[in-house]
Structures are given as C-alpha cells and as structure tokens.
Amino acid sequence: MAILKGKAELLKSLQEAKRPQDRKGLEAEIKVGDILSKYLPEDTYIIAQPEIGELQPDFLIIDPNFGFRLVEVKNINIKNIEGVLSNGVLRTSFGNRNPLSQVKSHVEGLKNYLVANYSHLGLGDPYKSIGYCVIHLGFSKRSFEYKFANQINNWTSEDRRDFFKYHLFSEQLDSGIVKAIERATKFRVGGYILTDKILMEIVESIKVSHIKRDEDGYFKRFDEHEEKIALVNAELNQIKESMQTYQTNRKQEDMRVQKKNFSFLIYPIIGFLLIIGFMVFTALDNDEIRKESVLSSFESLDDRTEDYIEVQAKVTRFYYDSNSGTKFLTLSDGEREMEAVIFKDTKVPFIEEGDTYIFEGYLQLTKNQKGNELRITSIQ
C-alpha cells in the first residue's frame, strides 16, 4: 500500500468548499487518492496538490522504479461531452477543454523544480523520468468508446494508442492501475532507481496546499463561465422554441397576414437575440468569436496573407530562442509543412514535438517573402 501525503488537506478543502462543482471535484480527487494508495507499491509516495513552483497538479506520484508521474483527475459526466479530438480536446456543453494539455503543462514546472532544488542528488535529466495522465472518474472507457466510436475510428492507430495511454478511466482503477501509470510516459527509462534517501528528501521537502491555485485565472473563469453559459443556453433554447412555433403558425396564414405580422414579431426577437448575444459576449470575457472552422490542410493557404485561421496540425520541429523568448515551430498537415512563430508575450500550453494541436493565428509573409508562416496567438 502506497503512502498518500496530503489527504488531510483535501478533506479540509472539501469541508470548506461551498459550490457543488468544487465538492464534486474534491470528492473525485479523494476517491482516486485512496484507490492509488491501495494498489500502488508500499515504497511509492502519492502527494496531493503539491507545491512545485507556480503550478499545482492534482497528484504527484514518486516511485523509486519508474520516477515521477503527474495526475489530473476529472469527474465530468459523459452526457456533457459532445465530441473528442485525438490531441485530448473535449468538446463539452460548456466549451472546449483539454485536461491532457493541462496536466502536460505541469511537466516543465516539475522539471525546473527538480533541477533547481535537487541537482546535487544526481537525478540526471529528470525530464525523461516524468510522465503524466488524466484519470476520468465520471465514465468508463467502454462508454466513452461507444459514444465516440465514429470519431475514434477516424484516428490513426498511433493516435488511438497515445490517447488511451495518457487517458485512464473508472474501470481501470484496480490492480492494473500500476502498469497503466507506469506506461504513461513518452520515455521508457529502463533501470531508473531512486534510492530511499533521495526519495525521502524530495517527498519531505514538497509542501502540500489545501488551496486550489488559480492557474492564469483558468479555474476562476471556468467556474464563472459555466454558470453564465448554462443560463444563456437555456434562454437560447427558449428562443429556438419560440421561433419554431412562429414558423409553424406563419405557414398557416395567408401572405397578407404573414407580411403584417412579420415585422411585429421579428423585431422583438432580433432585439432579444441581440441582448442574449451581448450576454454571451460578456460571459465569455470578450473571447474572440471563431472566424472560421478548424482547417486540417495547408493546401489553400498560400495566397491568404493576414487572414485569421484555425488549423489542426502536428508539431514536427520546435525551437526556443532563449535570447528573444520567441518560439519557432514547423507544422505538418500530413502532406505539407508550414513554419510558425510564437512571440514572447503570447501565452501557450507546453508544446511537444510529435503532438497535434489546434493553432489559431494570422498568416503572414516569411522574412524572405517567399511564402506564408503562421503567427500563433492561441493553442488548444
């Protein structure tokens, strides 16, 4: 039985939680923590809500044989999920969410924390000993595969393998969880061993917090938006029902009555829609409305300078210029490649070569004026 550090803090957070969504998330973390401690080996440590610099994952697992694993726990009802992408994006009734990207964002923070505090311990390159996964407590793998079979079947075998390597489900929380968590890494480091002395020094120095830190305002915005969007969606459904009723009645009237009543009915509806549109705009903190659907090919982009686009592509090369803070990428749609740039002040999630993302930004001419590159403003 593994040692769980931080359960008291989780229980305290649960007692202090006032909102149902907070309690639901904390109850899921406590349950997962108990299950992990039951099945993981006795020389393994599980730290809840560890303070590792600026970031705070749900769990950090430290095992002497396979190293470090970051765990994000999600308790989303599958009824609220409308679609899924191979890169981990979940299209939900309250907007797009990517828990895999969220847990991967902790990797760089943990690596920097280990290098800054334990370089004297001879850990080598700690990055290769760090893995990560998302545990979905709200539904089973079987129900997930059944609901999204059409989308999953369009993925490549590599995409399917990677998705289910890093996403674990409720029925997998048994004795097999040990192997599943061990496999949840990009690097399989054979013979990795943390001595008892090194392991204890790291475990004892990591602090546990009972306060869930707001990462760049994400959790605060998420909670506020969820409530506002639910209200807006309900009002929009009422509008749709009213318009359907109106259209049915209109067909039963003659042209003269139709024209007479059209202005009478349509202007209040337009005014109501404008009000709702303003509410949506405010509820989403003035997020930019998507200008066109997500593209999957670069084929038609050669002559579209300064156009705003959203495109799904794989990162085949990534370079970070430490002097300027600029990131340079090469993107691929499977057939063609495009260069891309992310300037210093643009906030983006942790990026790995070989992974697929949805990139948003503007097309611009390259410095040599011989083609387009993408100036990235956001990544999902």
Average pLDDT of 49-68?
88
Q: Are residues 110 and 245 in the same domain?
A: no
Average pLDDT of 118-133?
84
Report pLDDT for 220: 42
Q: Of 129-138, 296-305, 309-318, which one has max mean pLDDT? A: 129-138
Q: Are residues 135 and 235 in the same domain?
A: no
Greater model confidence, 222 or 301 = 301
- The pLDDT tens digits for 213-251 are 544 344 444 434 444 544 555 466 567 667 777 777 777
Distances (CA, A) of 351 to 288, 338, 355: 23, 16, 8
Alpha carbons 319 and 377: distance in angstroms, whole number: 17
Q: Are residues 331 and 228 in the same domain?
A: no
Average pLDDT of 367-378?
86
Give the residue among 287, 293, 332, 336 at the shortest CA–CA distance from 314: 332
Q: For residue 190, what pLDDT band results from cuts at 50, 70 and 90? A: low
Greater model confidence, 78 or 291 = 78
Q: In this structure, is residue 138 part of a structural domain?
A: yes
Q: What is the mean pLDDT of the chain?
A: 83
* Domains contained in the chain, number: 3
Q: In this structure, is residue 196 part of a structural domain?
A: yes
Q: Are residues 207 and 245 in the same domain?
A: no
Q: Are residues 188 and 248 in the same domain?
A: no
Q: Are residues 247 and 145 in the same domain?
A: no
Final residue before a domain boundary, out of 191, 212, 233? 212
Q: Are residues 57 and 199 in the same domain?
A: yes
Res. 165: pLDDT tops 80: yes
Q: Are residues 314 and 375 in the same domain?
A: yes
Look at the block and give the residue holding tokens 């049915």: 248
3-state secondary structure of 253: coil
Q: In this structure, is residue 288 part of a structural domain?
A: no
Res. 171: pLDDT tops 90: yes
Look at the block and give the residue holding tokens 């506020």: 224
Alpha carbons 275 and 139: distance in angstroms, whole number: 37
Host domain of residue 358? 308-379
340: domain CATH number is: 2.40.50.140
Least confident interval from 82-96, 178-192, 202-216: 202-216
Q: Are residues 151 and 253 in the same domain?
A: no
Handedness of CA 176, 156, 308, 227 (dihedral sign): negative
The answer to whether 296 and 336 are in contact (CB under 8 A) is no
Alpha carbons 337 and 117: distance in angstroms, whole number: 40
How is residue 185 annotated by DSSP? S
Final residue before a domain boundary, out of 212, 242, 272? 212
3-state secondary structure of 139: coil
Q: Are residues 191 and 56 in the same domain?
A: yes
Report pLDDT for 164: 96
Final residue before a domain boundary, out of 151, 183, 212? 212
The answer to whether 376 and 318 are in contact (CB under 8 A) is no
Q: Are residues 44 and 192 in the same domain?
A: yes
| Cβ neighbours of 323 (radius 10 Å) | 5
The answer to whether 135 and 32 are in contact (CB under 8 A) is yes
- Cβ neighbors of 325 (< 8 A, separation 6 or more) are 343, 344
Alpha carbons 9 and 4: distance in angstroms, whole number: 11
Alpha carbons 310 and 374: distance in angstroms, whole number: 10
The helix (H) or strand (E) run that includes residue 210 is none
Tell me the DSSP string of 295-364: B--STT-TT-TT-EEEEEEEEEEEEEETTTTEEEEEEE-SS-EEEEEE-TT-------TT-EEEEEEEEE
Q: Are residues 170 and 277 in the same domain?
A: no
Alpha carbons 186 and 67: distance in angstroms, whole number: 13
